[in-house]
Amino acid sequence: MFEVTVAARFEAAHRLVGDFGPAARTHGHTYRLEVTVRGEALAPDGTLLDVGELRQAVDALAGSLHYTDLQEVPGLSGVNTTVEHVAQHCWQELASAVQGRGMSTMRVAVWESEDVGAALDAPLAL
């Protein structure tokens, strides 16, 4: 199985609703967004998916979250902005860009810091 990973960063505010201690206060992180796609075979040009093309999709997504309050982002409003939900949102936003290209799975990891992160790893429509 081959994998390609592209990462980007975004800076955003959020707060959790519920019994989460200091995380219930509005605060923020420099998030790291890591996107990995997997597939069995390389194209004749030696790519699983052109890194430049994946970079465009990842950067556009990171841009849509940069300098925002995550509570106000379409797709996250109305849900708790846990790092798990942010990873799920990013997975859903990216799926359309990479589906139907022969890749079998995608893992989207979101890190709030280098020591705390979450990911969603799920099958893609081939």
- Residues that bind a second copy in the complex, under the rule CB under 8 A: 1-8, 16-18, 20-21, 23, 42, 45-48, 50-52, 55, 79-85, 87-88, 109, 114-122
Of residues 43 and 125, the one with the C-beta less far from a second copy: 43
Of residues 51 and 125, the one with the C-beta less far from a second copy: 51
Instruction: Give the DSSP letter of residue 107.
Output: E
Of residues 46 and 74, the one with the C-beta less far from a second copy: 46
Q: How far is the CB of 13 from a second copy (least distance, A)?
A: 17
Characterise 14 by phi-psi region: left (phi > 0), alpha (psi -120 to 50), beta (else): beta
Q: How far is the CB of 98 from a second copy (least distance, A)?
A: 15
Give the pair of three-digit tokens for residue 95.
């799926």
Instruction: Give the DSSP letter of residue 124.
Output: P
Max Cα distance, the chain (Å): 53
Alpha-carbon gap, residue 69 to 7, rounded angstroms: 21
Q: How far is the CB of 68 from a second copy (least distance, A)?
A: 18
